[in-house]
Amino acid sequence: MADTDKVILNVQERLVELSVKLESLAVENAPEAWNTALTVVQISYAQRLVLSFCGLALGSILAYACWRFVKKVSLWDHDTVGYEIGAFISGMVGGLMLIGSLINVFTIWNWVGIFRPELVIAKRILDSIL
């Protein structure tokens, strides 16, 4: 029984020593780690917005090409049925890309992540706690 108590005391002392070392390392490196976390959040949300703007551009091009093709071709011309199906599909893809990209562009957290990344980090911490 006495040996077990000594082992427990040794483990507790070792844990206290390790926690003191960990605390000193955290205090030393906290500003650098915080700045790195802020930069990572900003880059992540900037990437989302860049991809959204690319989706807006590509969706606009597809939707415009579909509109121009349908405007030129008669709907009752049976020689262009394959082209009409292709134009319809590309128009639908372009429209869905536009809608998805617009939703992502107008999501407030994407903009908060770029201009106030500390709020995004706080939100993530609160979400993980709750």
The tens digit of pLDDT for each residue in 14-73 reads 878 877 787 777 778 778 888 898 999 999 999 999 999 999 999 999 888 888 877 776
Establish if 62 belongs to a structural domain.
yes
Q: Flag whether pLDDT at 128 surpasses 80.
A: yes
Q: For residue 126, what pLDDT is reported? A: 87
Establish if 118 belongs to a structural domain.
yes
Establish if 6 belongs to a structural domain.
no
**Using CA of residue 93, residue 97, residue 100, residue 106, what is the dihedral sign?**
negative
> How many domains is the chain built from?
1
Residue-number span of the structural domain to which 111 is assigned:
37-129
Q: For residue 64, what pLDDT is reported? A: 87
Count CB-CB contacts under 10 A for residue 60. 15
Establish if 30 belongs to a structural domain.
no
Q: What pTM was computed for the model?
A: 0.67
Establish if 11 belongs to a structural domain.
no
Establish if 8 belongs to a structural domain.
no
Band of the pLDDT at 13, cuts 50, 70, 90?
confident
Establish if 71 belongs to a structural domain.
yes
Task: Spell out the alpha helix ranges (H) of 2-130.
Answer: 2-72, 81-105, 108-115, 117-129
**Using CA of residue 42, residue 43, residue 48, residue 54, what is the dihedral sign?**
positive
Establish if 26 belongs to a structural domain.
no
Q: Please enumerate in sequence order all residues whose Cβ is within 8 A of that of 58, keeping only pairs 6 or more positions apart, or say none.
A: 94, 97
